[in-house]
Amino acid sequence: MLDAYATVFRLFVPIVEEMRERELFELEKKLIARYKSFRSLKPKPIRIVDNVDFAARVKGRYIEVSKQFLDTNPPLKEVENTLKHELIHCLYPNYGHSIEFYNLAKRLKVADHYTLKQMLFNEVNKSTLEGRIGYRIVGGEEHYYIRKKPSWKGLKDFCEDRCIPFGEALKTLREIYGLTRKELASKLKAKVSTIKRIEEDKLNETLYENEKILRKIFWAIVSKKR
Ligand SMILES: [Zn+2]
């Protein structure tokens, strides 16, 4: 009897998930219509997945929502906020929780200020790699500030603080800007192999030998017109 019940239950589950996916998709479309900032977005189909590490995430052409998150029966407001968060990611793909993300999230009242700040300052994202987030110690406390423009010094501080090799940071920044190694090399009139060597330099040898070239690469990337 128990087995039979289990079988029926298992057969039933996909239908429930399908219903939930459809409902979430309707909610997503409503949010896109409700907020001007989202109007340009094409709604992504929802896929419910088994995962305890996140409530939702953007994955390729889908927005994935955690089954475990839904099973806690979150209030509608929380589900909405979760979807709003993902829609902001859809607006700025590959940026991570950057300044752009942060500003819009603040405007749309998604998540509390503290969480947003944590994300902005602690993650490797477009803004941190552009060196736009800095901090000063005032009276033993860290005070963060946001620069309007990219800063080589800002990136340098960020990499040194977090022990991230400069080559790796520049490679990620180049990818965020959608530049190929070849395009970057031709912009700098350098060899592709030189860029490759710098990007793969885990020991920061380039920094000690020739900081100028790193700075040049940085500016060549961030000055790319979008
Ligand atoms: Zn996020």
For residue 2, the CA-to-ligand 1 centroid distance in Å is 41
> How large is the average pLDDT for residues 90-104?
93
Q: Domains in the chain, ordered, with CATH?
A: 2-91 (3.30.2010), 110-161 (no CATH), 165-226 (1.10.260)
Query: Looking at residue 194, what DSSP letter applies?
Result: H
CA of 220 to the centre of ligand 1 (A): 28
- The structure's pTM equals 0.83
Q: How far is the CA of 119 from the centre of ligand 1 (A)?
A: 8
Note the helical H segments in the chain. 2-34, 67-71, 76-91, 99-107, 113-122, 126-129, 152-162, 166-176, 181-188, 192-199, 205-209, 211-222
User: Is the separation of the CB atoms in 161 and 206 below 8 Å?
Assistant: no
**151-192: pLDDT as tens digits:** 999 999 999 999 999 999 999 999 999 999 999 999 999 999
CA-to-CA distance for 168 and 141, rounded, in angstroms? 29
Using the mean position of ligand 1's atoms as its centre, give its distance from the Cα of residue 59 in Å: 12
For residue 18, pLDDT beyond 90: no
**How confident is the model over 70-81, as pLDDT tens digits?**
999 999 999 999
